[in-house]
Amino acid sequence: MALQAASLVPASFSLPKEGKNGVSLKDSTLFGLPLTEPIKADFSSSALRCKRDLQQKVGAVRAETVATATPAVTKSTPEGKKTLRKGSVVITGASSGLGLATAKALAETGKWHIIMACRDFLKASRAAKSAGIAKENYTIMHLDLASLDSVRQFVDNFRRSGMPLDVLVCNAAVYLPTAKEPTFTAEGFELSVGTNHLGHFLLARLLLEDLNKSDYPSKRLIIVGSITGNTNTLAGNVPPKANLGDLRGLQGGLNGLNSSAMIDGGDFDGAKAYKDSKVCNMLTMQEFHRRLHEETGITFSSLYPGCIATTGLFREHIPLFRTLFPPFQKYITKGFVSEDEAGKRLAQVVSDPSLTKSGVYWSWNKTSASFENQLSQEASDAEKARKVWEISEKLVGLA
Ligand code: LMG
Ligand code: NDP
Ligand code: PMR
């Protein structure tokens, strides 16, 4: 069942990534101080643009893929006992941090085949090896979320591989806190929202068909969220705060030309763009749930895995921040979690039989017990979720 597919084409751009953080209301006390509701964020407007001329053609995905028919969901052992086949899970951004740790945790159970959907094949390959993931437990396939062509190409390649899709994990992200000016995806969307939200939005919408075809007993679509997008937490109140405003920038295409690069139409701010993208991720999960859970039975979830202060997400931050941030989170906020621990948390959302409730934003308390967390007002605004969904459909060419 181990199929191999690889891209001949390395990722189109080398993008910085970002991560998210989150602290839920419940785990949000700092120095014993309880948190109250958020304060208003301020924003302004500007427009900057860069040109996206690289229409990335990810045409050449090597089909080292051994096409097989979708395996039956159960097989019989010699003793006549039925056993469940391996689950098949696509994880975006599995070449580092949370995605890699999740792939590792799932592979170790022996119950999952992981499709690592990554923009840098070599990096992913090295990462899988150094994490000790057994060869038969993973397949690397090229996906650059900063190019909608690449997303569509990935979906084609995945389908050609013949593998089933039981769980999709939208995990990859970039974080550009020090960028002074916006940069853009292949289609000209501001890079953070373009990658973290729009790329995943198209991917998830297209792969829904594949999830629907799966005969696996628990099908799931997970979009990683974060505390920093939730203004009902202390972490979510560190400026700049997430705020989608009236979505005028998103409506305008986030291109920094005739519209702002920011969703709310304000001046570009890389840290805010990341947090806004996480709000979109959490809204999208809920909109999926409202529109499709009943009809499909798919579990839609999001989560804040804890503050994984050591990941590549902070690669673009200043060196002082990267040095101070882990001890700050470890000893002061106590929100720190290791990559391994966070990977186990996300692996639970993928496979734990007790986490099948749909429409939930999961968090973990200090003893690492999961609980259904409360989203901020904006991140649970159904009307905004509907609008983000509808505008996003247009931007990615689905409507
Ligand atoms: C912003 O900058 C950018 O402006 C914005 O564009 C965007 O990029 C955003 O969200 C990203 O970042 C952030 C800037 C100010 O912070 C930094 O980049 C510097 C690093 C700060 C990281 C947090 C580490 C805090 C220090 C931890 C120290 C560890 C160990 C100390 C232990 C001491 C024990 C004696 O970020 C801000 O939001 C400004 C906030 C400024 C207040 C910082 C105060 C720290 C609060 C908590 C700790 C205080 C306790 C120590 C007291 C010591 C007293 C002697
Ligand atoms: P990392 O930077 O370690 O991982 C991000 C992954 O996304 C990398 O594999 C990266 O690929 C990939 N990626 C970035 N851009 C693209 C792209 N255009 N196409 C495909 N893949 C891409 O960060 P984390 O592990 O911390 O972040 C993972 C998730 O966790 C994110 O959704 C983040 O928001 C979330 N999160 C993180 C927190 C934290 O404290 N770190 C807290 C809360 C949430 P490459 O390896 O090639 O760079
Ligand atoms: Mg935050 C309980 C307190 C808490 C938690 C859990 C986080 C998580 N942060 C907390 C508090 C604070 N942070 C405080 C008091 C400050 C001011 C010193 C602070 C600052 C801070 C900065 C500058 N924090 C940050 C940054 C980032 O650049 C990170 C970010 O916002 O990325 C978008 C970040 C984070 N804090 C977190 C988490 C999980 C992050 C990573 C962001 C994410 O992945 O969403």
Non-local (6+) Cβ contacts of 321 within 8 A are 314
282-301 pLDDT, tens digit per residue, is 999 999 999 999 999 999 99
Whether the pLDDT of residue 23 is over 90: the answer is: no
Whether the pLDDT of residue 35 is over 90: the answer is: no
User: Would you say the CB of residue 192 lies under 6 angstroms from ligand 2?
Assistant: no
Q: What is the amino acid identity at position 292?
A: L
Per the CB < 8 A criterion, the answer to whether 298 and 292 are in contact is: yes
User: Would you say the CB of residue 382 lies under 6 angstroms from ligand 3?
Assistant: no
Tell me what pLDDT residue 279 has. 98
If you measure from the C-alpha of residue 131 to the centroid of ligand 3, how many angstroms do you get, rounded to a whole number? 27
Number of C-beta neighbours around residue 183 at 10 A:
23
Q: Which of 58-62, 344-348, 370-374 has the lowest mean pLDDT?
A: 58-62
Write the residue with the smallest CA distance to atom 32 of ligand 1.
328
User: Would you say the CB of residue 324 lies under 6 angstroms from ligand 1?
Assistant: yes
Whether the pLDDT of residue 76 is over 90: the answer is: no
Q: Calculate mean pLDDT across residues 229-247.
A: 97
Q: Calculate mean pLDDT across residues 248-257.
A: 95
Q: Calculate mean pLDDT across residues 28-46.
A: 30
If you measure from the C-alpha of residue 324 to the centroid of ligand 1, how many angstroms do you get, rounded to a whole number? 8
What share of the chain has pLDDT > 70, as a percent? 82
Tell me what pLDDT residue 366 has. 87
User: Would you say the CB of residue 249 lies under 6 angstroms from ligand 3?
Assistant: no
Q: How confident is the model at residue 55 (pLDDT cuts 50, 70, 90)?
A: very low
Q: How far apart are the C-alpha atoms of 308 and 97, rounded to whole Å?
A: 8
Using most ligand atoms within 8 A of CB, pick from 7, 95, 98, 144 the residue to mutate for ligand 2: 98
Name the closest ligand to CA 148.
2
> What are the tokens at 28?
């949000």
Whether the pLDDT of residue 57 is over 70: the answer is: no
The ligand 2 atom at the shortest distance from the C-alpha of residue 314 is 2
User: Would you say the CB of residue 28 lies under 6 angstroms from ligand 3?
Assistant: yes
Using most ligand atoms within 8 A of CB, pick from 328, 333, 334 the residue to mutate for ligand 1: 328
Whether the pLDDT of residue 22 is over 80: the answer is: no
Supply the Cα-derived Rg of the chain in whole angstroms: 20
352-377 pLDDT, tens digit per residue, is 999 999 999 999 998 899 999 999 99
pTM of the model: 0.85
Residue with tokens 């505008």: 391
> What are the tokens at 109?
């159970």
What angle (nearest 5°) sits at the alpha carbon of residue 73, between those of residues 118 and 2? Answer: 40
The ligand 1 atom at the shortest distance from the C-alpha of residue 332 is 48
**Between 242 and 63, whose confidence is greater?**
242
**Between 369 and 38, whose confidence is greater?**
369
What is the chain's mean pLDDT, rounded?
A: 85
Q: Give the side-chain half-sphere CA count within 13 A for 364.
A: 23
Give strand pairing partners of 76.
82
Catalytic residue positions?
274
User: Would you say the CB of residue 177 lies under 6 angstroms from ligand 1?
Assistant: yes
Tell me what pLDDT residue 83 has. 80
Supply the ipTM of this predicted assembly: 0.87
Per the CB < 8 A criterion, the answer to whether 249 and 273 are in contact is: no
Tell me what pLDDT residue 305 has. 98
Q: How confident is the model at residue 70 (pLDDT cuts 50, 70, 90)?
A: low
130-185 pLDDT, tens digit per residue, is 999 999 999 999 999 999 999 999 999 999 999 999 999 999 999 999 999 999 99
Whether the pLDDT of residue 42 is over 90: the answer is: no
Per the CB < 8 A criterion, the answer to whether 300 and 283 are in contact is: no
Tell me what pLDDT residue 48 has. 27
Per the CB < 8 A criterion, the answer to whether 38 and 28 are in contact is: no
**Between 187 and 14, whose confidence is greater?**
187
Tell me what pLDDT residue 11 has. 29
